[in-house]
């Protein structure tokens, strides 16, 4: 319990300071989350959902925390300039784990829509936040969620009122900035009311070359006939550790698209739990991972079908080179009441080098008797016949490998409904395969 001890001692010594710089709603669940963390600790590889990542080892190093909420010397609007063609977004920033409120985007949002600091929203409208905060992300069931709940002081709140459609995509840049090794505990709460629609693009970037450890808990509530698209793109560096838990609650006839894109990282562990609570709900989960050197990417998903006539589709693809390690575990749970469920799950992977490793575990657990469900997994290498065919037509072996990898990963990108992002990702993925990193003109985040 050595890894847990430093966080237990930290909370005991600083819980009053943590609460002082947060909101009452968030503070109301800290004590119970702390008790849950003491009981659960960090999940080990003996826990089924964490068997492919050594979580305690990630948390053993001594990281600093900005408990007193000191101002971080960065102006993200000057540091970040996106040159993505045709991707006209409403741009917001989260610096480490705090919403950047000194300057707001120039574009306007529809009346009633709220995009801002979770702490400030909890202070202004405590009853609204209390109705959702920590309700689907239960600290009693997961040690990482418990740790985040007991330490998180701010984050971002997204609220879309009934029947309101946000036409422009909302882009939220998570910037990691510090002069010392830093732990960041970020919270995200998304509420999409009946008939509402919104598209969210989260981009993770680092400014400094320090070691960062990020825990992130996202809670999303999607009401009847509502629509939510979430795109999460990570372009950090090899010293970055990211542990993210996403919990989504869907009601009747709602639609959710959740997409994870890992282009560069150190160690990444993504957990996605999606509950289909209403009849006719639909969800689409997808992910593409490109990893090399000693990068580690672990995606773990659960789609829980609790209502009849629901549909889920899941597709994750990995391209691994050098000594990279990838893991995917996806569980589809169809409960007894979820008759006429349609569910498809695929995980396809390329290990380009012999030293790359991939762990794949697609699972179906079905208790209803009128369903159409399928799942499958493949792990292979580049097709020698295809390589030979292209070389016979004057394409170099190096370029032929790149084209095959590019074609393999494109299936995931082409499914994304935010087309300007698709176009940009095609370019970024090609650059990534070529060992190049593209920087938007004038942007200082990734350099």
Taking alpha carbons only, the member of 305, 190, 309 closest to residue 247 is 190
Parallel/antiparallel/unpaired status of strands 197-206 and 169-176: parallel
The pLDDT confidence band at residue 1, using thresholds 50, 70 and 90, is: low
Contact in structure between 160 and 113 (CB atoms under 8 Å): yes
Q: What is the pLDDT of residues 360-417, one digit of tens each?
A: 999 999 999 999 999 999 999 888 888 888 888 888 888 888 888 888 999 899 888 8
Collect all residues with Cβ–Cβ distance below 8 Å to 211 and sequence separation of at least 6: 61, 63, 181, 182, 239, 240, 241
Contact in structure between 211 and 64 (CB atoms under 8 Å): no
Phi, psi of 408 (to 5 degrees): -65, -45
The pLDDT confidence band at residue 276, using thresholds 50, 70 and 90, is: very high
Kindly write down the DSSP assignment for every residue of 371-440, as one continuous string: EEEEEEEEEE---HHHHHHHHHTT--HHHHHHHHHHHHHHHHHHT-S-HHHHHHHHHHHHHHHTT-----
Lowest mean pLDDT among 86-90, 98-102, 399-403: 86-90
Helix, strand, coil tally for the chain in percent (to 5)? 25, 40, 35
The pLDDT confidence band at residue 82, using thresholds 50, 70 and 90, is: low
């Amino acid at each position: 319990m050595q890894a847990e001890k430093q966080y237990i001692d930290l909370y005991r010594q600083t819980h009053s300071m943590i609460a002082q710089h947060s909101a009452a709603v968030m503070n109301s669940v800290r004590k119970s989350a702390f008790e849950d963390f003491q009981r659960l600790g960090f999940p080990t590889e003996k826990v089924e959902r964490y068997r492919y990542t050594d979580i305690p080892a990630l948390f053993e190093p001594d990281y600093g925390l900005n408990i007193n909420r000191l101002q971080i010397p960065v102006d993200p609007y000057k540091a970040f300039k996106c040159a993505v063609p045709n991707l006209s977004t409403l741009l917001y920033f989260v610096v480490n784990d705090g919403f950047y409120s000194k300057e707001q985007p120039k574009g306007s949002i529809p009346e009633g829509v709220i995009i801002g600091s979770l702490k400030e929203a909890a202070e202004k409208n405590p009853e609204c936040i209390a109705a959702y905060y920590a309700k689907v992300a239960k600290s009693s069931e997961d040690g990482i969620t418990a740790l985040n709940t007991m330490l998180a002081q701010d984050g971002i709140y997204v609220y879309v009122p009934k029947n309101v459609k946000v036409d422009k995509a909302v882009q939220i840049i998570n910037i990691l900035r510090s002069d010392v090794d830093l732990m960041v505990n970020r919270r995200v709460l998304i509420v999409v009311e009946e008939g509402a629609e919104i598209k969210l693009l989260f981009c993770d970037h680092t400014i400094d070359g320090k070691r960062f450890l990020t825990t992130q808990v996202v809670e999303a509530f999607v009401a009847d006939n509502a629509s939510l698209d979430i795109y999460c793109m990570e372009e950090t560096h090899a010293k970055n550790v990211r542990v993210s838990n996403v919990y989504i609650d869907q009601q009747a006839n709602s639609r959710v698209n959740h997409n994870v894109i890992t282009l560069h990282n150190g160690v990444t562990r993504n957990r996605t739990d999606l509950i289909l609570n209403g009849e006719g709900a639909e969800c689409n989960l997808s992910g593409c991972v490109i990893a090399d050197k000693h990068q580690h990417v672990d995606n773990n998903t659960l789609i829980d079908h609790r209502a009849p006539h629901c549909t889920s589709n899941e597709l994750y693809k990995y391209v691994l080179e050098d000594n990279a390690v990838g893991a995917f575990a996806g569980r589809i749970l169809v409960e007894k009441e979820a008759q006429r469920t349609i569910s498809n799950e695929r995980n396809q992977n390329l290990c380009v080098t012999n030293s790359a490793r991939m762990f794949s575990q697609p699972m179906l657990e079905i208790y209803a008797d009128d369903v159409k469900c399928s799942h499958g997994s493949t792990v292979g290498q580049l097709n020698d016949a295809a390589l030979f065919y292209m070389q016979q037509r004057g394409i170099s072996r190096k370029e032929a490998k790149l084209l095959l990898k590019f074609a393999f990963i494109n299936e995931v990108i082409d499914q994304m409904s935010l087309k300007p992002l698709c176009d940009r990702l095609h370019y970024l993925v090609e650059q990534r395969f070529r060992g190049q990193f593209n920087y938007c003109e004038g942007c200082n985040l990734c350099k």
